[in-house]
Amino acid sequence: MNEKRRSLESLLKPRSVAVIGASRHDGSLGKKIFDNLLESSFKGPVFPINPNAKEIASIKAYPSIFDVPEPVELAVIAVPAEFVLEAAEQCGLKGVKSLVVISAGFAENGKEGVNRQRDLASICRHHGMRLVGPNCMGVLNTDPDVSLNATFSHVFPPRGDIAMATQSGALGLVILEYAKNLNIGLSTFASVGNRADVSSNDLMEYWRDDPDTSVIMLYLESFGNPRKFARLARSISPHKPIVAVKSGRTAQGSKAAASHTGALATVDVAVDALFAQTGIIRVDDLEQLFDVSDVLSRQPLPKGNRIAILTNGGGPGALAADACSAAGLELTHLSAETVAGLRALLPVRASLGNPIDITDVGAAEYRGALSLLAGDNNIDSVIVIFIPPVFACPEEVATVIRDLAPEFRRRGKPLIASFMGQRGCVPGTTLPAGTAGVPSFAFPEAAVHALAKALEYSRQRQKPKGTAPEFLDIDRERAKKIIDSALDGWLEPDTAFSLLQAYGIMTQEIRAAENLERAIDAAQEIGFPVALKIDSTAILHKTEAGGVSLEIGSPEELKQAYDDMMEKMRIAGLIKGIRGVYVQKMAETGTEVIAGINHDAIFGPLILFGLGGIYTELFQDSTVRITPLTDADAKEMVRSVKAYRLLEGFRGAPPADVPAIEELLLRLSALVEDVPRIKEMDLNPVRVFGEGRGYAVLDARIRLGSTERLALPK
Amino acid sequence: MNEKRRSLESLLKPRSVAVIGASRHDGSLGKKIFDNLLESSFKGPVFPINPNAKEIASIKAYPSIFDVPEPVELAVIAVPAEFVLEAAEQCGLKGVKSLVVISAGFAENGKEGVNRQRDLASICRHHGMRLVGPNCMGVLNTDPDVSLNATFSHVFPPRGDIAMATQSGALGLVILEYAKNLNIGLSTFASVGNRADVSSNDLMEYWRDDPDTSVIMLYLESFGNPRKFARLARSISPHKPIVAVKSGRTAQGSKAAASHTGALATVDVAVDALFAQTGIIRVDDLEQLFDVSDVLSRQPLPKGNRIAILTNGGGPGALAADACSAAGLELTHLSAETVAGLRALLPVRASLGNPIDITDVGAAEYRGALSLLAGDNNIDSVIVIFIPPVFACPEEVATVIRDLAPEFRRRGKPLIASFMGQRGCVPGTTLPAGTAGVPSFAFPEAAVHALAKALEYSRQRQKPKGTAPEFLDIDRERAKKIIDSALDGWLEPDTAFSLLQAYGIMTQEIRAAENLERAIDAAQEIGFPVALKIDSTAILHKTEAGGVSLEIGSPEELKQAYDDMMEKMRIAGLIKGIRGVYVQKMAETGTEVIAGINHDAIFGPLILFGLGGIYTELFQDSTVRITPLTDADAKEMVRSVKAYRLLEGFRGAPPADVPAIEELLLRLSALVEDVPRIKEMDLNPVRVFGEGRGYAVLDARIRLGSTERLALPK
């Protein structure tokens, strides 16, 4: 066990706990926490610390932590903010291993609070103590050997294998209540508060190796260090599902000063990308968080999308079928044996399609039908709907489901129930920890949605893991020279091209020429036909201003085009800013795409891809990923825009060189990972040629910024 | 009161009820229903009919309906299917006004059942009895002067102003249970079963004028007569909201043999169109059905989208804010007075933005804050979130909300609560019928979604009501001649154009010519430049086969093009099917759109619109409406495709003549309403010119079919 993990054990599995601020007064958090620790029957001594009380709840109280006659592993501090630093210092001197600081009045509360929190963190660091909070609602462990409720919620949830971290203490209260009501079992729970030390990242790292945890639930409001979060998530999600709600979807909005392609990326899009790339299951709200975690915790992962629905009423079956179609779950064809078995079993009025409507029958028919479905290899998972009937007994049907659950589990088939109107575990089906019960939903749609998310995760796990390839031909030295000699701001077009070339990105050859003669020389060097583009800092839209001339085939045509262009500039009064012209080799025909980079203050670089022309703008048909990009990411990225079909060869057009685009995106990722000064990049357009013929960047805008990075918390 | 309405009163407000099949045996539906009628304290006599019992539940039983010594208004029949016809006949002879037939074994059950149902309906018609069912779970009325539970559900929901019709009896059981649990009040409820007589349409018509009903909830699986449904809904929804779940979204799939544009329309798209055009609020599932109806029933309609969120925890506030953004609700800026008032009222740690996080305070602060929000004219509606706190008392906060509800109501502002973890009416806030309580949701997201639906409805109500315009220039006689002389199948291109022209639809002039000389004559008549198109029944894709030549400027060019084309045909072996050529005037440049008609067996004609080129195919960017189309529908239709911006003048292009497109769609609607033989139409492309310059249909395919319509139930 590494040092870090051990340090969190003192927090989540302490052998003794002190409550600083424990009190006899109803209405104090200290009393609440102390009572909760006793009520959960914590397996170790609990020491109340209070200078003004001799005993609390008949337990001897100590004036200070120093007076406790034994070592204390965890101290929960619930005194007013102004007394917290002193209490923490004393804990440090006493040798306490971990602190949970409940008290508010820290970084959430103005400048003074920020300073206080900094000092608190430094005391903890100095004494080697881990710190949860401040401004949190505590931590909790249902392990019967620990049985720790160091929170101010009176709710101690049932034992289970779902771990939960929340950035909102208020939601923590709701979460514990909800888990208890629905009989959803937790392993450990932590409200991380202001995250002065322990963050969701630290907890995820702990839970990765925690044998008691098989599902991780997160409520996130912001990311401390998204890059570390991403690395962790990538390492955890292939083994344990992470289900997350991220709020604040729209708070930040898009940046005003972003470039054309950059402006299309918003922060929430980055969160989506982060979650998708690292295998995190994103859900929209707390209800779904529990629904999905419940299914993942209690049931095996579905192996495929073929579902069977068993119902005793047509209406709910129809609603479930609709939900399946919407979620991409296929109502499978039952095997001939299953159909024959059902026919023998059920009354003639029963419908033997899928959904199977067994009509108003009893528990015996449910048992027979479920047994058949368990054995049908055409089925990957089963949803069983039960409407409180007029005569039949729900308890009997619940017993059937409980009896058959192990059979489904043995065959690796999820079995999910909807006892309509009732949410929670099927009555009587909660099995001892280690085996698994059958989740039940009040409405079949919720069952379908949760199953669909489980399938999404299952598929993600089956996918080949991508890697970020090494490109051996990258000329980092050349790139470094270019970057080191460039000022902040937009690079000159030819410098931008040089930088791209250093990273092996194909550009359409272009030359700056200060006059006609040089332009003709340049054209002859690169070969006709060429395009002529004005080089002026004063002109924003070159084409509209008459500053672009295409398909020039000879020196004579070039002279003509040059003279025409300068004449237009003179007439338009634009002659002043002109530094010369660019001569660019005409590119062969192809499909135009755009690629770009936008730098987010929190997430770092985001890579954007879309089709050129009007698709991206008109249909918002573009896609974003975080870096580093893997080959699998690049593959998926190109295929995730709707206009991808244009690249495949739409309506008889020849297919484009898709692997070359993927490579372009991977090289962009390598470039921006190496050169954090790149704040914005807009390759627009990139012309993609036919299969095996590559692409060429026709125009590139790159903006450098200062290299300083935000000081990120761990 | 009209005859029809009176006939339904005998069903929903009977003065006496007989239960045919009432029995003493537990486990019989007859006993259940009889017990339920007694338990709900029906305000009139209930007569058990059973030839084998002298009394049932201490009430004198009668061997047959004839033996009942008084008139019977409603008879509930719950005997096996084979005895139903006789019972119904006897009821008719006795003078019973309405039947509810619970028994199954009718049209849902094979050919014999279909015949039995036909006979049952005919008995009822013969005796002038209304019939609910067969194969239903009954009807219910909570009016204290009636107090009728003629269902086999033991649940009698609370009194309220929501009426409900369900096509699924199984869901009916769930619905009543759910309504009771959440304290959602119903006025009347009917399970319509097989709809041999009374349909959802009949009930809607009844509820339209029912003073006890202010919200109509529907669970639909199929439409009997969607055109009547549409007419009814249009007349009701401006006064009473209709909230509906329609299942079977995907069951039917799209037709295999549909034409290009037609194939894009699926049945569920038609349902969406029907609901949107008639102002019905479509929800996805039962939970939303109740959520939305609850808000509409208890709260005023929101006047606008400016919302304020009051919370005692940041996390739930953030989740609610996200949900608002996603639903198009704007977190408004509070007025300066409100902010000042809140500042004076709340602790410094409170956050005075929006959401307003009042932190862990008590009922007094909730009262003060809500009073301020009630008076703030920047706010259209308020969601108040309450997390079960550690110390404060939920009941006190509930009291505050109850106290302030009338003030919000007086100002026409919806007030919705989320007592987190608790679903239902805010404890203690159910006010007597006539006033209104405050709905409360377990999660704030559900509150936001329900409010957003209420706003959508409110806006729909505020919109100007469209009308289907009369076009005085339509030449119906000419159209009739064309139709009457045409066979079923695809019309000749020039016939199709003539039909369109008769309806004032602009077509690009085209002439059939059987040889070169005639072609030159035609071109000279219509004027160069022209396009030449092969006229052959054997060639499907003219352009690909070399059968189209554009921009022909003179007789000489025409001869050349003609000879080239025929040569190509000869080489390709396609000469056989050629009947000649078409000569079409070249159209000026413009934006291409497509318009079409697809005939659905249930819905009748659907009108489709989209942009030409690849948009419709690549981005599924098209839209569908049912007919008759109103001017408002046409306006919205054109604007509802994403590519609409191309018509507005995208990236400097001149704007297109949008009013002309709207008129085209309205004329198409008029045409297809007049000519039901049109089964399919594909105007592709239609070239739209600049503002005020109209459009021209360049190519039209129209398919006629037989005029027989499905025999639709009322």
* Nearest residue to A631 via CA among A643, A622, A639, A641: A639
Domain count of the fold of chain B: 3
Q: What is the pLDDT of residues B407-419, one digit of tens each?
A: 999 999 999 999 8
CA distances from B706 to B91, B406, B498, B599, B676 (A): 42, 60, 20, 12, 9
Between chains, do B315 and A250 touch, taking CB under 8 Å as contact? no
Residue of chain B nearest A246, judged by CA positions: B319
Q: In sequence order, which residues have a C-beta less than 8 Å from that of residue B557 and are 6 or more positions away?
A: none
Chain B interface includes A312 (CB < 8 A): yes
End residue of a domain, out of B462, B488, B521:
B462
Q: Rounded to whole angstroms, how far apart are CA atoms B629 and B605?
A: 11
CA A469, chain centre distance (Å): 23
ipTM here: 0.85
Chain B (590-619) residues lying within 8 Å, Cβ to Cβ, of chain A: 614, 618-619
B22, B117: one domain: yes
Query: Count of A–B CB contacts within 8 Å?
Result: 175
Name the E strands within A167-207. Answer: 186-191
Residue of chain B nearest A176, judged by CA positions: B421
Q: For residue B45, what is the domain's CATH number? A: 3.40.50.720
Residue A221, phi then psi, degrees to nearest 5 = -110, -30
Number of H helices, E strands in chain B: 22, 32
Residue B255 lies in a domain: no
Q: Rounded to whole angstroms, how far apart are CA atoms A579 and B38?
A: 97
Distance from the Cα of A274 to chain B's closest Cα (Å) equals 19
* Joined tokens for residue A366: 């449910």
- pLDDT (0 to 100) of residue A85: 97
For A408, other C-beta atoms within 10 Å of its C-beta total: 22
B29, B177: one domain: yes
Residue B498 lies in a domain: no
Domain hosting residue A103, numbered range: 3-213
Chain A interface includes B32 (CB < 8 A): yes
Residue B517 lies in a domain: yes
- pLDDT (0 to 100) of residue B250: 55
Chain A (191-230) residues lying within 8 Å, Cβ to Cβ, of chain B: 219, 221
Q: For residue B362, what is the domain's CATH number? A: 3.40.50.261
End residue of a domain, out of B586, B619, B647:
B586
Q: What is the pLDDT of residues B448-495, one digit of tens each?
A: 999 999 999 999 998 888 899 999 999 999 999 999 999 999 998 889
Chain B (482-541) residues lying within 8 Å, Cβ to Cβ, of chain A: none
Chain A interface includes B170 (CB < 8 A): yes
B643: chain A residues, CB-CB within 8 Å: 618-619
Q: Rounded to whole angstroms, how far apart are CA atoms A263 and B205?
A: 52
State how beta strands B510-513 and B578-585 pair: antiparallel
End residue of a domain, out of A462, A482, A502:
A462
Return the sign of the alpha-carbon dihedral for residues A36, A41, A43, A49: positive
B55, B129: one domain: yes
Residues B689-693, mean pLDDT to the nearest whole number: 94
B518, B431: one domain: no
A545, A440: one domain: no
Between chains, do A247 and B319 touch, taking CB under 8 Å as contact? yes
A442: chain B residues, CB-CB within 8 Å: 287
More confident residue, B40 or A57: B40
State how beta strands B695-697 and B548-552 pair: unpaired
Residue B658 lies in a domain: no
Q: What is the pLDDT of residues A1-58, one digit of tens each?
A: 567 778 899 999 999 999 999 988 877 889 999 999 999 999 999 999 999 888 888 8
Look at residue B249 and tell me whether its pLDDT is greater than 70.
no
Distance from the Cα of A342 to chain B's closest Cα (Å) equals 17
Residue of chain B nearest A349, judged by CA positions: B109
A434, A577: one domain: no
Between chains, do B29 and A390 touch, taking CB under 8 Å as contact? yes
B322, B184: one domain: no
Between chains, do A421 and B181 touch, taking CB under 8 Å as contact? yes
Residue A671 lies in a domain: no
Chain B interface includes A27 (CB < 8 A): yes
B457, B524: one domain: no
Residue A708 lies in a domain: no
Cβ-contact B557, B538 below 8 angstroms: no
* Joined tokens for residue A450: 């949760």
- pLDDT (0 to 100) of residue A492: 87
Chain A interface includes B109 (CB < 8 A): yes
* Joined tokens for residue A8: 């969190």
Between chains, do A650 and B614 touch, taking CB under 8 Å as contact? yes
Q: In sequence order, which residues have a C-beta less than 8 Å from that of residue A312 and are 6 or more positions away?
A: A357, A358, A359, A360, A361, A385, A386, A387, A389, A392, B170
A308, A432: one domain: yes
A353: chain B residues, CB-CB within 8 Å: none
* Nearest residue to A631 via CA among A488, A520, A466, A500: A466
Nearest to A247 among B221, B312, B322 (CB): B322
Chain A (237-296) residues lying within 8 Å, Cβ to Cβ, of chain B: 245, 247-251, 284-287
Residue B663, phi then psi, degrees to nearest 5 = -65, -40
Q: For residue B520, what is the domain's CATH number? A: 3.30.1490.20
Chain A interface includes B126 (CB < 8 A): no
The percent of residues in chain B predicted with pLDDT above 70, rounded, is 93
Q: What is the mean pLDDT of chain B?
A: 89
* Nearest residue to B697 via CA among B493, B544, B554, B556: B493
- pLDDT (0 to 100) of residue A392: 64
Look at residue B26 and tell me whether its pLDDT is greater than 80.
no
Residue A22 lies in a domain: yes
Between chains, do A390 and B170 touch, taking CB under 8 Å as contact? no
Cβ-contact B102, B190 below 8 angstroms: no
Nearest to B618 among A29, A247, A643 (CB): A643
Q: What is the pLDDT of residues A283-313, one digit of tens each?
A: 988 889 999 999 999 999 999 999 999 999 8
Count Cβ neighbours within 10 Å for each residue of B404-436 and write b for 16 or more, e otherwise: bbeebbeeebbbbbbbbbbbbbbbebbbeeeeb
Cβ-contact B559, B547 below 8 angstroms: no
CA distances from B145 to A278, B15, B43, B148 (A): 62, 10, 6, 9
* Nearest residue to B203 via CA among B626, B714, B711: B714
CA distances from A165 to A190, A207, A252, A483, B318 (A): 5, 10, 23, 42, 17
State how beta strands A330-331 and A356-357 pair: unpaired
Chain A interface includes B322 (CB < 8 A): yes
Residue A37 lies in a domain: yes
Distance from the Cα of A441 to chain B's closest Cα (Å) equals 12
Return the sign of the alpha-carbon dihedral for residues A405, A408, A412, A414: negative
CA distances from A594 to A634, A697, B614 (A): 14, 9, 19
Q: How many residues are given for chain B? A: 714
Q: Rounded to whole angstroms, how far apart are CA atoms A620 and A597?
A: 16
Q: Rounded to whole angstroms, how far apart are CA atoms B326 and A249?
A: 9
Look at residue B264 and tell me whether its pLDDT is greater than 50.
no
Give residue B318's identity as a one-letter amino acid code.
A
Between chains, do B316 and A170 touch, taking CB under 8 Å as contact? yes
B131, B22: one domain: yes
State how beta strands B17-20 and B46-49 pair: parallel
Q: Which residues of chain A have pLDDT under 70?
A: 1-2, 249-266, 389-392, 421-436, 540, 651-652, 707-714
More confident residue, B207 or A441: B207
Between chains, do B286 and A319 touch, taking CB under 8 Å as contact? yes
Alpha helix stretches (DSSP H) within A550-696: 555-571, 615-619, 631-639, 644-649, 658-674
- pLDDT (0 to 100) of residue A25: 81
B151: chain A residues, CB-CB within 8 Å: none
* Joined tokens for residue A387: 């409407």
Residue of chain B nearest A360, judged by CA positions: B170
B172, B303: one domain: no
More confident residue, B262 or A683: A683
Please tell me chain B's helix, strand, coil percentages from 3-state DSSP, rounded to the nearest 5. 40, 20, 40
Between chains, do B445 and A285 touch, taking CB under 8 Å as contact? yes
- pLDDT (0 to 100) of residue B711: 41
Chain B interface includes A653 (CB < 8 A): no
- pLDDT (0 to 100) of residue A425: 53
* Nearest residue to A326 via CA among A455, A445, A190, A496: A445
Look at residue B422 and tell me whether its pLDDT is greater than 90.
no
B167: chain A residues, CB-CB within 8 Å: 315
- pLDDT (0 to 100) of residue A452: 97
Cβ-contact A65, A75 below 8 angstroms: yes
Nearest to A322 among B168, B247, B318 (CB): B247
Q: What is the pLDDT of residues A568-620, one digit of tens each?
A: 899 888 888 888 999 999 998 899 999 999 888 778 899 999 988 777 777 77
Residue B279, phi then psi, degrees to nearest 5 = 80, 20
More confident residue, B266 or A278: A278
Chain B interface includes A442 (CB < 8 A): yes
Give residue A118's identity as a one-letter amino acid code.
R
- pLDDT (0 to 100) of residue B427: 52
Cβ-contact B414, B457 below 8 angstroms: no
B26, B171: one domain: yes
Residue B681 burial by Cβ neighbours in a 10 Å radius (0-12, 13-18, 19+): buried
Distance from the Cα of A193 to chain B's closest Cα (Å) equals 11
Q: What is the pLDDT of residues B430-440, one digit of tens each?
A: 433 334 588 88
Q: What is the pLDDT of residues B572-626, one digit of tens each?
A: 888 888 889 999 999 988 999 999 999 887 788 999 999 887 777 777 788 999 9
Distance from the Cα of B552 to chain A's closest Cα (Å) equals 26
Q: Rounded to whole angstroms, how far apart are CA atoms A490 and A480?
A: 17
Give residue B133's identity as a one-letter amino acid code.
G
Chain A interface includes B643 (CB < 8 A): yes
Q: What is the pLDDT of residues B340-372, one digit of tens each?
A: 999 999 988 888 889 999 988 888 999 999 999
